[in-house]
């Protein structure tokens, strides 16, 4: 029954089928060429880059649903991404430090008490910010299950409360965008403080070391996270394709185009916006929880307001209102951005001036954003559509 | 015929200008009512008040057997209670197909949960076909609503109003931009709807109003100037003065 259902769904939505097939093929190729498979044509660090890019694709499709489909230009979704990263990072840091502490103390003749162990872990983790006690928000950090729950609940609840306040007062358009920027800025500023309980600007580090898998090589761990990211992207894509396909898709696109008219048809616009805002926030949190173990470190700068603006730029360049457009934008712009800012792009010497890409990349990105918005409102994805229609 | 909507002592001002001034109005179910009046008389604002778009400064608006007040309700609650509206300027969802527009309006549960789990039913599809047939858009169902002509958009919006199956239909200047044949068809549809429901039609065109063959309310400067049969009001000296005499 479900199988037949999903089959017809995929047949009626060929682009979803294409995306999932490409993703599967891509995963296969990367796996075969990775160091874990022995060939090593793709380095472990590049596997991590690709895995992280898949997570960025996941948050990009979430952004596309909330903005491209529902018309809410949220410039705060990276806050949810960061929260997901912090939530999983707390467990990773706690569990790993606990293992190290247990090993160090095992040399003692008298077995250490629980509070001695706890103090030793706290000193290790919070020494950098001059503290030696666990802040209250670390209460669940010993439990993977509870922290995974936090990955879903904290972004979800924050989005629910924020969205309820904003949508209920009918804040829309640019005012809502500014409000979401304020939210992400406030969160970043809070995290920057040393007494935030999350190690201030040091952030959480060593996240690439997975407790319980100390003996496993990074080559294998990176591939496992790559697979997990690919799976999450596939499931996220299916979820959003389903949400945006049927009548729900019709209602949220109608809200985007004329929300007042939708109200006069009897739909409570605020609940729809809240649903979309919260669902996409939760998915963003999941994307962040998969991203940061591959990045190895998370700090408050990741949540800076500019990150969420980049997200909107990816979606605009890739093509709003099409899920695959968001993926194209995220892949294209984020890989290009790491090329230009990574120092591997050759400087251009004009004789009187040397263009350093590390400085000028942002200008180029800004200009492309303006150009796409003005000249190709459909983004890169609209080029694909033109090709498909010509055939 | 029992009273469906009762408005009493309603006033609204915009920046000190009284658009609606101590207006009282009643309509039963079933009933057809035409509202005429010069531009700026407050006809559209009157509909804005009933549908919750504009909050009056004073007065009462009571709807249904249980005499619920519409004033504390949101636009969507009022719509769900059974008030449907066709706007003066046709507003349809241009980036969606005609069929999707009908489906959005079709009377069905409106909560996000219901909509998310909504399955297309043969009954719903039949209803859309029937509505499209009724407003002459059968061939246009797969087209984007934005590609329709102005007149076709008017029809689509009338079809969407019928799809909601409201108890009170508020129809703002339906005949604007229509050919005489289309006007006749519009009156037929509205008269049919008024067999069971309450229908309020705002219209300038006297021929159109005459064909509705119903009680007429004349609005001027935000209040009722005269009420009665078309012949009765058109012979009223006040009405001739402010409206017909010009
Ligand atoms: N939102 C508003 N803000 C200010 N003035 C308004 C508003 N809506 C209507 N008005 C004014 O109220 C008066 C009645 O307008 P309206 O109800 O549209 O008239 P009608 O539909 O009878 O032509 C007009 O003078 C109009 O300018
Ligand atoms: Mg008007």
Average the pLDDT over each of A323-327, A367-371, B58-62 and give the range with the smallest value. A367-371
| Position A210 pLDDT exceeds 60 | yes
Q: Do A266 and B118 touch (CB under 8 A)?
A: no
Whether B42 lines ligand 1, by a CB cut-off of 6 Å, is yes
What pLDDT was estimated at residue A6?
60
What pLDDT was estimated at residue A130?
87
Given pLDDT bands bounded at 50, 70 and 90, which one contains residue A316? very high
| Position A3 pLDDT exceeds 70 | no
Contact B154/B127 with Cβ under 8 angstroms? no
Q: Angle at which helices A305-318 and A379-390 pack, to 10 degrees?
A: 20
What pLDDT was estimated at residue B246?
54
Taking Cα atoms as reference points, which of A332, A322, A149, A333 lies closest to residue A240? Answer: A322
Q: Provide the token pair at A148.
A: 């995974």
Contact A64/A237 with Cβ under 8 angstroms? no
Given pLDDT bands bounded at 50, 70 and 90, which one contains residue A337? confident
Write the DSSP assignment of A135-203 as a string of letters: -GGGTTTT-HHHHHHHHHHHHHHHHHHHHHHHHHTT--HHHHHHHHHHHHHHHHHHHHSGGGSS-GGG-
Q: Please give the interface size between A and B, counted as residue pairs whose CB atoms are below 8 Å apart.
A: 70
| Position A5 pLDDT exceeds 60 | no
Per the listing, tokens 């969606």 go with: B96
Neighbours of A14 (CB within 10 A): 10
- Residue-range domain boundaries for chain B: 2-244
Mutate-to-test residue for ligand 1 from B37, B38, B44, B220, highest number of ligand atoms within 8 A of CB: B44
Q: What percentage of chain A reaches a pLDDT higher than 90?
A: 70
Residue of A nearest to B89 (CA): A261
Residues of chain B positioned with their CB less than 8 A from the CB of A268: 74, 76-77, 110-111
Q: Do A264 and B115 touch (CB under 8 A)?
A: no
How far is Cα A34 from Cα A220, in angstroms, rounded to an integer? 9
Q: How many domains does chain A have?
A: 1
Residue A381's H or E segment, with its range, is: helix A379-390
**pTM confidence score:** 0.94
How far is Cα B38 from Cα B225, in angstroms, rounded to an integer? 11
What mean pLDDT do residues A276-291 have?
A: 98
In a domain, A141, yes or no: yes
What pLDDT was estimated at residue A343?
74
- B2-244 architecture in CATH? 3-Layer(aba) Sandwich (3.40)
What pLDDT was estimated at residue B11?
97
Residue of A nearest to B90 (CA): A261
| Position A315 pLDDT exceeds 50 | yes
- Do β-strands B168-172 and B83-86 pair in parallel, antiparallel, or remain unpaired? parallel
Q: Do B75 and A243 touch (CB under 8 A)?
A: no
What pLDDT was estimated at residue A7?
62
In a domain, A53, yes or no: yes
pLDDT, one tens digit per residue, over B28-77 is: 999 999 999 999 999 999 999 999 999 999 999 999 999 999 999 999 99
What mean pLDDT do residues A228-242 have?
A: 97
What pLDDT was estimated at residue B244?
56
What pLDDT was estimated at residue A1?
42
What pLDDT was estimated at residue A105?
83
How far is Cα A71 from Cα A308, in angstroms, rounded to an integer? 16
pLDDT, one tens digit per residue, over B119-129 is: 999 999 999 99
Q: What percentage of chain B reaches a pLDDT higher than 90?
A: 83
pLDDT, one tens digit per residue, over B67-104 is: 999 999 999 999 999 999 999 888 999 999 999 999 99
What pLDDT was estimated at residue B245?
57
In a domain, A315, yes or no: no
In a domain, A30, yes or no: yes
Please name every residue paired with B23 in a beta bridge, in sequence order, or none if there are none: B10
Taking Cα atoms as reference points, which of A220, A208, A228, A217 lies closest to residue A27? Answer: A228
In a domain, A180, yes or no: yes
Give the closest residue (by CA) to ligand 1 atom 18. B44
pLDDT, one tens digit per residue, over A69-127 is: 999 999 999 999 999 999 999 999 999 999 999 888 887 778 788 888 888 999 999 98
Q: What is the CA radius of gyration of chain B?
A: 18
Given pLDDT bands bounded at 50, 70 and 90, which one contains residue A360? confident
Q: Provide the token pair at A14.
A: 């060929």
In a domain, A188, yes or no: yes
Whole-number average pLDDT of chain A: 92
Whether B16 lines ligand 1, by a CB cut-off of 6 Å, is no
What pLDDT was estimated at residue A117?
87
Q: Do A251 and B115 touch (CB under 8 A)?
A: yes
Burial B85-101 (b: 16+ CB within 10 A, else e): bbbeebbbbeebbbbbb
A266 vs B79, B87, B100: nearest CB: B79
How far is Cα B81 from Cα B72, in angstroms, rounded to an integer? 13
In a domain, A119, yes or no: yes
Q: Which atom of ligand 1 is nearest to the CA of B42?
A: 17
Domain span at A111: 23-304
How far is Cα A66 from Cα A73, in angstroms, rounded to an integer? 7
| Position B243 pLDDT exceeds 80 | no
Q: Cα of B40 to ligand 1 centre, how many Å?
A: 6
What pLDDT was estimated at residue A103?
86
What mean pLDDT do residues B1-29 have?
A: 94
Give the closest residue (by CA) to ligand 1 atom 25. B40
Sign of torsion over alpha carbons A109, A114, A116, A121: positive
In a domain, A286, yes or no: yes
Given pLDDT bands bounded at 50, 70 and 90, which one contains residue B224? very high
- The closest ligand to the CA of B46 turns out to be 1
Residues of chain B positioned with their CB less than 8 A from the CB of A260: 53, 75
Phi, psi of B18 (to 5 degrees): -80, 100
What pLDDT was estimated at residue B51?
97
Residues of chain A positioned with their CB less than 8 A from the CB of B111: 268, 271
């Amino acid at each position: 029954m479900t199988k037949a259902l999903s089959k017809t769904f995929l047949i009626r939505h060929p682009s979803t089928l294409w995306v999932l097939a490409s993703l599967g093929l891509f995963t296969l190729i990367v796996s075969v060429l990775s160091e874990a498979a022995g060939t090593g044509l793709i380095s472990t660090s590049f596997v991590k880059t690709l895995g992280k890019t898949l997570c960025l694709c996941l948050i990009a499709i979430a952004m596309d649903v909330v903005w491209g489909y529902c018309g809410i230009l949220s410039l705060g979704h990276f806050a949810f991404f960061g929260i997901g990263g912090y939530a999983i990072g707390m467990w990773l840091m706690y569990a790993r430090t606990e293992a190290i502490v247990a090993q160090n103390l095992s040399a003692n003749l008298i077995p250490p008490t629980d509070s001695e162990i706890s103090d030793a872990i706290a000193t290790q983790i919070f020494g950098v910010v001059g503290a030696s006690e666990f802040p209250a928000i670390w209460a669940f950090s010993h439990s993977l299950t509870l922290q995974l729950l936090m990955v879903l609940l904290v972004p979800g609840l924050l989005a629910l409360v924020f969205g309820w306040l904003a949508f209920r007062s009918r804040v829309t358009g640019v005012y809502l965008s500014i409000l979401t920027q304020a939210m992400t800025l406030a969160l970043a500023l809070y995290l920057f403080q040393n007494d935030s309980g999350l190690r201030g600007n040091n952030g959480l580090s060593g996240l690439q070391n997975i407790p319980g898998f100390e003996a496993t090589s990074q080559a294998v761990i990176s591939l496992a996270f790559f697979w997990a990211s690919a799976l999450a992207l596939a499931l996220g894509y299916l979820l959003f394709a389903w949400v945006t396909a049927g009548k729900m898709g019709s209602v949220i696109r109608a809200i985007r185009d004329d929300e007042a008219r939708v109200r006069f048809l009897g739909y409570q616009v605020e609940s729809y916006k809240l649903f979309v805002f919260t669902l996409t926030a939760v998915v963003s949190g999941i994307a962040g929880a998969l991203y940061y173990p591959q990045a190895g470190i998370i700090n408050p700068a990741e949540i800076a307001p500019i990150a969420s603006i980049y997200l909107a730029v990816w979606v605009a360049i890739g093509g709003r209102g099409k899920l695959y457009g968001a993926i194209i934008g995220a892949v294209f712009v984020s890989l290009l951005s790491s090329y230009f800012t990574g120092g591997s792009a050759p400087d251009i010497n004009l004789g009187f001036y040397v263009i350093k890409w590390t400085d000028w990349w942002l200008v180029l990105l800004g200009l492309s954003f303006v150009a796409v918005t003005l000249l190709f409102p459909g983004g890169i994805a609209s080029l694909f559509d033109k090709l498909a229609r010509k055939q | 015929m029992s009273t469906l909507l009762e408005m009493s002592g309603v006033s609204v001002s915009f920046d000190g200008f009284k658009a609606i001034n101590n207006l009282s109005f009643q309509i039963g179910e079933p009933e057809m009512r035409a509202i005429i009046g010069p531009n700026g008389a407050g006809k559209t604002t009157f509909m804005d008040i009933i549908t919750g778009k504009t909050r009056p400064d004073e007065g009462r608006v009571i709807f249904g057997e249980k005499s619920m007040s519409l004033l504390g309700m949101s636009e969507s609650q009022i719509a769900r209670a059974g008030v449907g509206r066709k706007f003066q300027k046709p507003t349809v969802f241009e980036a969606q197909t005609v069929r999707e527009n009908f489906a959005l309006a079709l009377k069905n549960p409106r909560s996000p949960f219901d909509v998310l789990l909504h399955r297309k039913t043969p009954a719903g599809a039949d209803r859309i076909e029937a509505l499209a047939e009724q407003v002459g858009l059968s061939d246009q169902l797969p087209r984007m609503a934005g590609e329709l002509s102005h007149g076709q958009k008017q029809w689509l919006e009338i079809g969407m109003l019928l799809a909601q199956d409201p108890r009170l239909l508020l129809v703002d200047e339906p005949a604007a931009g229509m050919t005489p044949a289309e006007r006749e068809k519009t009156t037929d549809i509205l008269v049919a709807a008024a067999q069971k429901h309450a229908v309020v039609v705002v219209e300038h065109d006297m021929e159109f109003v005459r064909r509705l063959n119903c009680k007429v309310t004349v609005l001027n400067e935000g209040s009722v100037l005269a009420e009665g049969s078309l012949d009765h009001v058109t012979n009223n000296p006040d009405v001739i003065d402010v409206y017909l005499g010009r």
